[in-house]
Amino acid sequence: MRLHVADHPLVAHKLSVLRNKETSSPTFRKLVDELVTLLAYEATRDVRTEPVAVSTPVAETTGVKIAEPLPLVVPILRAGLGMLDGMTRLMPTAEVGFLGMQRDEETLEAITYANRLPDDLTGRQCFLVDPMLATGGTLVAAIDYLIDRGARDVTVVCLLAAPEGLKVLEDHIGDRGDVTIVVAAVDDHLDENAYIIPGLGDAGDRLYGVV
């Protein structure tokens, strides 16, 4: 497993506003979108391309286009939905699958309530998006769904990760797949309720309200 932590003053600035409990939902949504755009640039660095002939106004040349099978972006609902537009804006030809997962706040187990993924992911580059990697339970289950369908190349884009969750992911994945985590920051620790500290609270609630 590879970990890439964004090291950029704009990321750090936007993340600080996101953490602030006074930041309203509309501003929070906009900042998540802006941060994803910055992270997606790094996350898509190894996206596969193939040559394509291009006629410029004055010459023939060879360019590139994103190769088939097309990449698959998978937001983990709810909070991951706030990161989808930023990904598809950079990769408009990507296809989109969906996973609806909710962490049981008592047991911390990830429960899957929606699953709309292609049956066969052999050879597809997959991009999982979810703002928070806390205990790692949700992403372990999500990565397993992709690997079980044949995916071997998975990039996870998160805003915040806890060291505890990164360790769980690394131990779980082993050599079963080629997994890269791109994250805006690795925070300090989890509290007794498995919330990321200092964190930003419940990402889903801050994006969409408490339901």
Ligand X SMILES: O=P(O)(O)OC[C@H]1O[C@H](OP(=O)(O)OP(=O)(O)O)[C@H](O)[C@@H]1O
Annotated binding site for 5-phospho-alpha-D-ribose 1-diphosphate: 78, 103, 130-138, 202
> Which of 1, 40, 43, 79 lies at the binding interface for ligand X (CB under 6 A)?
79
Phi, psi of 192 (to 5 degrees): -65, -15
Distance CA 121, CA 164 (A): 29
> Which of 157, 173, 185, 203 lies at the binding interface for ligand URA (CB under 6 A)?
203
> Which of 153, 204, 206, 207 lies at the binding interface for Mg ion (CB under 5 A)?
204
CA atoms within 13 A on the CB side of 134: 23
Is 131 a binding residue for Mg ion by CB under 5 A? The answer is: no
Reference 91, options 40, 46, 158, 156; nearest CA is 40
87 interface partner picked from ligand URA, ligand X, Mg ion, none, CB below 5 to 8 A per type: none
| C-alpha dist (Å) from residue 163 to 132, 152, 199 | 12, 24, 12
18 interface partner picked from ligand X, ligand URA, Mg ion, none, CB below 5 to 8 A per type: none
> Measured over all CA atoms, what is the biggest interatomic distance in the chain, rounded to whole angstroms?
65
Is 202 a binding residue for Mg ion by CB under 5 A? The answer is: yes
Is 137 a binding residue for ligand X by CB under 6 A? The answer is: yes
Q: Which residues pair with 54 in a beta bridge?
A: 61
What residue ranges bind ligand URA (CB under 6 A)? 132, 134, 195-196, 199, 202-204
